[in-house]
Structure 1
């Protein structure tokens, strides 16, 4: 299989510039290991595990499935009762993880400890200004999320076609393009725009190793790029989720002047988790990207990695063949 070597693959010791997003309730051992075993970079989501000890056990399960590099996503957000982040950080270190994806808050408070233990850090950003801050505090790479992404796209509403080159022309560290990627056409486009790889969330959520219920995956296959909602817009905490009765109700309540308290029960994380576990796509709000409109099947995660790279190579060769050199003389 042909490889695409980029500064990201070389720095992080992986074969292919394809990263599996660190999705809440989805980034578990089987999925992460399958992506890594195929040569990409799989991510276990730390806070999906109830305790730091559970995270260590999940990492051990993944290591049983592959000997290739695996990363851990640690998303740090303001909370009235925050998780024990220090303990999760220590669990990551004690488990021997060498790649961490941070998201949410500024990663600076975590950099010294991670650096001391030789851990490379990818920070997830939704703007160039945040990416520049992450570079300044010493992260090894950034994952830049365009407006198309699932989850939180930020408040600038800049799509990847502009955001990716805007970031790559100002950063000197590897940039991973995220939001709107599902295949090799996207990977080829990201590389041409200056990125060093792609991060795919929704695409990997819709694979056989994903712990999400089959009916949710079938719903993604049947959906189009029009079937998402942007909730929390009036609160300036925008999130892209699947369009269903619950998310549409949330949008309506907030558009009519409602406050977060008025939708708190509708958007409870426990309800969203039941969607993934039980397969009732109307049970709560759940994250999915515009890219679901490009997803037409439920393959293995390894197949996604392999065909994404192979298609990207073919597309890059096709584009190269369009060049017509002038005839001299």
Structure 2
């Protein structure tokens, strides 16, 4: 099979420059293992597991499915009752995980323990300034999220076509392009823009191994790039989610001067989890990217990896043929 070798694949010991994003309620053993087994980097989402002990079991389940490298996502967010991050870190290290994707707040408080135990860090950023800071505190790679992405794109509204080259020209560590990627054309474009690989969430959410309900996958297949909403904009905590009756109501309330308390029940995480588990796409808020407009099937995760690498190689060869 064709391979695309980059500084990222060499540094992280994987075959293909394709990362499965760490998605809440989605990044479980079967999906992560399938991506890794195909040569990409699958990622288990730590906080999807209710306790650190459950995370250890989930990592063990993944290890039964593949012997290839697997990463763990640890999202660091301010909270009234924060998760026991120290215990999750210890669970990751004791399980022999050597790749962690951090997201949310500054990863610096977590760096020492991970580095002492030989763990490589990929930090997810939404701006060049945050990526530069992440490099300074010692992360091994950054994943740079353009405005197109699902979840939190930041408040700068810079799309990937500008953000990726802006980041790669300022950083010396590998850069993973995230937000808006679903096929080989995207991977080829990211490499040309200076990135060392791509991170995909929505594309992997819509695969056979993804634990979300089939009706959610079909909704993604049927949707276009126009079928998302940006919620929490007036609160300066923008999030891109699927357009449905709930997200549209949230936008209307906040644009009308409402406060978070007025939408708290609508955006409850438990309701979003119900969407993925029970398949009612109108039951709550759920994250999806604009890239759903490029997704038209529900293949295996392995097929996604292999297809994208082959397509990217073909696109790069086609483009090179334009030079005379």
- Normalising by the residue count of structure 1, what TM-score does the alignment of the two structures yield? 0.98
Which residue in 2 is equivalent to 1:244? 244
Root-mean-square deviation (CA, aligned residues, Å) is 0.2
Displacement of 1:201 in angstroms is: 0.2
CA distance in 1, matches of 2:199, 2:3: 17
CA distance in 1, matches of 2:112, 2:215: 43
2:285 is aligned with 1:285: yes
Which residue in 1 is equivalent to 2:233? 233
CA distance in 1, matches of 2:239, 2:135: 25
Which residue in 2 is equivalent to 1:123? 123
Which residue in 2 is equivalent to 1:4? 4
2:71 is aligned with 1:58: no
Which residue in 2 is equivalent to 1:156? 156
What's the secondary structure of 1:74's corresponding residue? strand
Displacement of 1:253 in angstroms is: 0.1
CA distance in 1, matches of 2:107, 2:316: 35
What's the secondary structure of 1:31's corresponding residue? helix
CA distance in 1, matches of 2:234, 2:71: 34
CA distance in 1, matches of 2:289, 2:107: 25
2:72 is aligned with 1:75: no
Displacement of 1:215 in angstroms is: 0.4
Displacement of 1:125 in angstroms is: 0.1
Which residue in 2 is equivalent to 1:99? 99
CA distance in 2, matches of 1:187, 1:252: 36
CA distance in 2, matches of 1:217, 1:304: 15
Equivalent runs, 1:150-299 vs 2, <5 Å = 150-299=150-299
List alignment gaps of at least 5 residues for structure 1: 325-329
What's the secondary structure of 2:43's corresponding residue? strand
CA distance in 2, matches of 1:226, 1:103: 26
CA distance in 2, matches of 1:244, 1:105: 29
Once the two structures are superposed, what CA deviation does each residue of 1:160-201 show, in whole Å capped at 9, x if it has no partner?
000000000000000000000001000000000000000000
CA distance in 2, matches of 1:150, 1:228: 9
CA distance in 2, matches of 1:255, 1:107: 33
List alignment gaps of at least 5 residues for structure 2: none
CA distance in 2, matches of 1:280, 1:77: 27
2:47 is aligned with 1:47: yes
Once the two structures are superposed, what CA deviation does each residue of 1:211-239 show, in whole Å capped at 9, x if it has no partner?
00000000000000000000000000000
| Number of residue pairs matched by the alignment | 324
What's the secondary structure of 2:186's corresponding residue? helix
Which residue in 2 is equivalent to 1:327? none
- Normalising by the residue count of structure 2, what TM-score does the alignment of the two structures yield? 1.00
Displacement of 1:298 in angstroms is: 0.1
Which residue in 2 is equivalent to 1:143? 143
Which residue in 2 is equivalent to 1:112? 112
What's the secondary structure of 2:240's corresponding residue? strand
